[in-house]
Amino acid sequence: MLKVQEIRELIKLIDQSSIDEFTYESNGTSVTMKKGQDPIAVQPKEPSTQPIVKEVETDKQKEKQAPVPQDETETQEDSTPVAKDAAGDQEIVSPMVGTFYAASSPESDPYVKVGSRVENDTIVCIVEAMKLFNEIEAEVTGEIVEVLVQDGELVEYGQPLFRVKTK
């Protein structure tokens, strides 16, 4: 099974390439991606996992929303941990499996909220596994436009945590 991260990487690569259709099959799971006028399809044969559905939604959003001027998208800095989605926003993703904490303690205010400005080194949340607390830095400059997970939720490796509008 492909990881969310890998699927995202594939979408990015295929998007930039001249490939119109791509199918990947392994252990009874297949992922098909099509570009162009055809409706976009990402259909695993197994019950689809959440992240894949998300990709589909993201691509639909792209169609609905006003297209982002091409040159602006391309000048954006593309750092590894931050996946760029179709709307030109970037996502801060989790580097490991663990529990998502929005604040340093249950009594504290969350590190960031929708509307918070973040710099590269702004701590946006903590992901904890086995009592290792990983302070996640934004690694991108912009404004938080969406918090994609809830406090205390289990997050997967590569799972998007925040959507950031970059300037």
Partner 1 sequence: MESTRNKLIQILANNDSTYISGQQLSKELAISRSAVWKHMKELEKDGYTIEGVSNKGYRIIAYPEKLSSNTIKWGLNTNWLGKTIYHKESIPSTQILAKQLASDDTEHGTVIIADEQTMGKGRLNRTWHSTNGKGIWMSLVLRPRLLPHLAPQLTLLTATVLCDVLAKVTPLNPAIKWPNDIFINHKKVAGILTEMQAEQDQIQYVVIGIGINVNHTEQDIPKDLKGKATSLRLESDRDWDIRDMIQNILLTFESAYQVYLDQGFPVVKEKWENYGYKLGESVWINTMKDRWYGSILGIAEDGALLAEKEGEQIKLYSAEIEW
Q: What residues make contact with partner 1 under the rule CB under 8 A?
A: 80-81, 93, 95-99, 101, 104-106, 108, 128-135, 137, 139, 152-154, 157
Rounded CA-CA distance 50/44 in Å is 11
> Which CB atom, from 3 or from 45, has the smaller least distance to partner 1?
3
Least distance to partner 1, CB of residue 131, Å? 5
Least distance to partner 1, CB of residue 154, Å? 7
3-state SS assignment for residue 108: coil
Least distance to partner 1, CB of residue 89, Å? 18
Least distance to partner 1, CB of residue 65, Å? 27
> Which CB atom, from 137 or from 143, has the smaller least distance to partner 1?
137
| b/e burial code for range 125-138 (CB count within 10 A of at least 16 → b) | bbbeeeeeeeebbb
E-strand ranges in the chain read: 21-26, 29-34, 82-84, 90-93, 98-101, 117-118, 123-129, 132-137, 142-147, 154-155, 160-166
> Which CB atom, from 75 or from 80, has the smaller least distance to partner 1?
80
Query: Please, are residues 91 and 79 in contact by the beta-carbon 8 Å criterion?
Result: no
> Which CB atom, from 86 or from 127, has the smaller least distance to partner 1?
127
